[in-house]
A = this chain, B = another copy of it.
Amino acid sequence: MTEKQEKILKSALELFAKEGYHATSTSKVANNAGVSEGLIFRHFKNKEGLLMAILKEGENKLNELFADIVMESDPQEVVRKAIELPFIVPESEYEFWGLQYKLKWEIEMDYSHKTEPLTMALALAFVKLNYESPQQEAEFLTLSLDAIGAALIKRSMANADKMKSFLLKKYGL
């Protein structure tokens, strides 16, 4: 990955996040990256290729985030870490994650598998904790945490800390 390739990727991320994928022209990306427009196509083949590169990065980052949870053997810790997940994302990454949410709807594609590792880890934890419907519980929590993440990123949640403590308590932590 050359320096210019990274500049392109960074510009694309920024602009796609700010204005949306379709509303961002490749020439804008090139300008913003201080690079000729043709170079985008040499390195990423397509505008869509650019997008895919960014999406791939998102999936990787997500898996990194999940890794810590999946490896955890203490079921209480699994649930705690899962709940804390949306709250530990630093604000500097909001733009990046906002784009991932945006693309989830803008691009037609099945993203449900992306959260599957988390759901499975939670299901296992809830089994160990003797929850009545561990699978539903895990699915529900995954979905809810996803929604909380979205709300945080859109800064439409009034008091994040309260929500976190509320949730931890709700799950007996």
Contact = CB atoms under 8 A, between A and B. Distances in A.
Contact of A112 (B110, B144, B156): B156
Contacts of A110: 154, 156
A146 B146 CA distance: 11
Given A105-B106, A139-B163, 8 more contacts: A20-B22, A20-B108, A22-B106, A101-B105, A110-B154, A112-B151, A136-B166, A140-B167
Copy number of this protein in the oligomer? Answer: 4
A92 interface: no
B136 A147 contact: no
Interface of A: 20-23, 101-102, 104-106, 108, 110, 112, 133, 136-137, 139-140, 143-144, 146-148, 151, 154, 156-157, 162-163, 166-167, 169-170
B106 A20 contact: yes
A112 B153 CA distance: 12
A167 B139 CA distance: 11
A139 to B, nearest CB: 7
A144 B140 contact: yes
A132 to B, nearest CB: 8
A34 to B, nearest CB: 19
